[in-house]
Amino acid sequence: MSSLMMMVKRNIKLFYRNKAGVFFSILALLILLVLHFVVFRTMFTDNWAAIIDAIPGFDVDRSDLAWLTDSLMFATILPIGAITVSLTSLGLMVTDREKGVFGDFLTAPFDRNKLLASYLLSSIIIGATMLLLFLIFFELYFLVVYGISFTLAQFGSIILIILLSLLFGNVFVLLIVSFFKSQQSLGAVGTILGTLIGFLSGAYIMVGLFGDTVRNIFGLMPFLQLTVLSRQAFLSRVEEITPLKYEMLTGELARDFGFELWIGDSLISKPMVALMTIATTCVILVVLMFVFSRLKSAE
Mean pLDDT of 286-296: 80
Mean pLDDT of 22-41: 90
pLDDT > 70? residue 168: yes
Mean pLDDT of 204-233: 89
Contacts of 246 by beta carbon, 8 Å cutoff, 6+ apart: 238, 239
297: exposed, middle or buried (C-beta count within 10 Å: 0-12, 13-18, 19+)?
A: exposed
* Confidence bin at 295 (pLDDT 50/70/90): low
- Ranges 18-22, 76-80, 94-98: which has the least confidence: 94-98
Look at residue 249 in the predicted model and tell me its pLDDT.
Answer: 76
How confident is the prediction for the chain on average, in pLDDT? 87
User: Closest by alpha carbon to 229, among 264, 199, 272?
Assistant: 272
- Ranges 3-7, 28-32, 85-89, 113-117: which has the least confidence: 113-117
* Confidence bin at 296 (pLDDT 50/70/90): low
Give the C-alpha separation, 230 to 234, whole Å: 6
pLDDT > 60? residue 265: yes
Tens digits of residue pLDDT in 80-121: 999 999 988 888 888 888 877 776 676 666 677 788 888 899
The identity of residue 218, as a single letter, is: F
* Confidence bin at 297 (pLDDT 50/70/90): very low
Look at residue 224 in the predicted model and tell me its pLDDT.
Answer: 93
Does residue 115 contact residue 292 with C-beta atoms inside 8 Å? Answer: yes
Tens digits of residue pLDDT in 170-214: 999 989 988 887 777 777 777 788 788 888 888 888 887 787 888
Angle at CA of residue 172, ends 168 and 174, nearest 5°: 120
